[in-house]
């Protein structure tokens, strides 16, 4: 039953990806947030990762809130440092953003964001960055230094009660 449900989910997800936007693009990006950039007129969602929303807050080890969404975006800006990116586009998401894996001088930016702890591996769509996430969690890097609500959960319209519960960083909420 679980296998059948998983297979159906994969088919639906693959079916929701518009492959007409596949190709390659290069240029200096404008960083929108920790998992979205824009090169020219093309908005690119970094495929396989999920970064905190720009307005998202996390807790540090002492329980103080901090703007982890802004920190994620700012770390990507710092890492990019005005360099040109090369992105392999595989299609588009439901918001018409191109889906892509991007590189700075051959380094996979998607993997870097997860490995540095500024994004989660978005296992709903890809397992490519699972090992990078484990390394970041074990090192208490980036968002893993305290507690967070996984970005995909914080986006959902949840009742006030669950929204107040923060997840320990070693627990992934899907």
Q: Which CATH architecture has domain 19-164?
A: Beta Barrel (2.40)
For 141-162, the pLDDT digits (tens) are 999 999 987 765 544 444 444 4
Q: Quick one: pLDDT at residue 123?
A: 87
Q: Quick one: pLDDT at residue 7?
A: 39
pLDDT reading at 6 higher than 50: no
pLDDT-derived band at 28 (thresholds 50, 70, 90) equals very high
Give CA–CA dist 10/99, Å, rounded: 16
- Measured in whole angstroms, how far is the alpha carbon of residue 111 from the centre of its chain? 10
pLDDT reading at 87 higher than 80: yes
What stretches of 65-118 adopt beta strand conformation (E)?
Answer: 65-66, 85-92, 98-104, 107-108
Q: Quick one: pLDDT at residue 152?
A: 59
Cα atoms in the 13 Å half-sphere on the side-chain side of 61: 5
Q: Are 43 and 91 in contact (CB under 8 A)?
A: no
| Of residues 164 and 92, more confidently modeled | 92
pTM as predicted: 0.77
Give CA–CA dist 119/24, Å, rounded: 23
Q: Quick one: pLDDT at residue 153?
A: 58
Give the position of tokens 């230094």. Answer: 145
Domain regions of the chain by residue span = 19-164
Q: Quick one: pLDDT at residue 148?
A: 85
């Amino acid at each position: 039953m679980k296998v059948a449900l998983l297979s159906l989910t994969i088919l639906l997800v693959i079916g929701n990806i518009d492959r007409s936007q596949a190709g390659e693009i290069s240029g200096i990006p404008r960083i929108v947030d920790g998992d979205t950039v824009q090169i020219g007129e093309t908005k690119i969602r970094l495929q396989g990762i999920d970064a905190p929303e720009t307005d998202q807050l996390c807790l540090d080890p002492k329980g103080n809130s901090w703007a982890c969404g802004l920190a994620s975006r700012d770390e990507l800006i710092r890492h990019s440092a005005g360099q040109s990116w090369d992105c392999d586009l595989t299609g588009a998401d439901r918001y018409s953003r191109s889906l892509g894996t991007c590189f700075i001088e051959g380094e996979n930016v998607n993997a870097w964001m997860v490995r540095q702890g500024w994004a989660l591996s978005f296992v709903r769509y890809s397992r490519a960055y699972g090992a990078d996430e484990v390394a970041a969690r074990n090192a208490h890097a980036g968002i893993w230094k305290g507690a967070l609500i996984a970005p995909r959960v914080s986006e959902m319209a949840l009742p006030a009660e669950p929204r107040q519960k923060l997840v320990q960083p070693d627990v992934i909420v899907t």
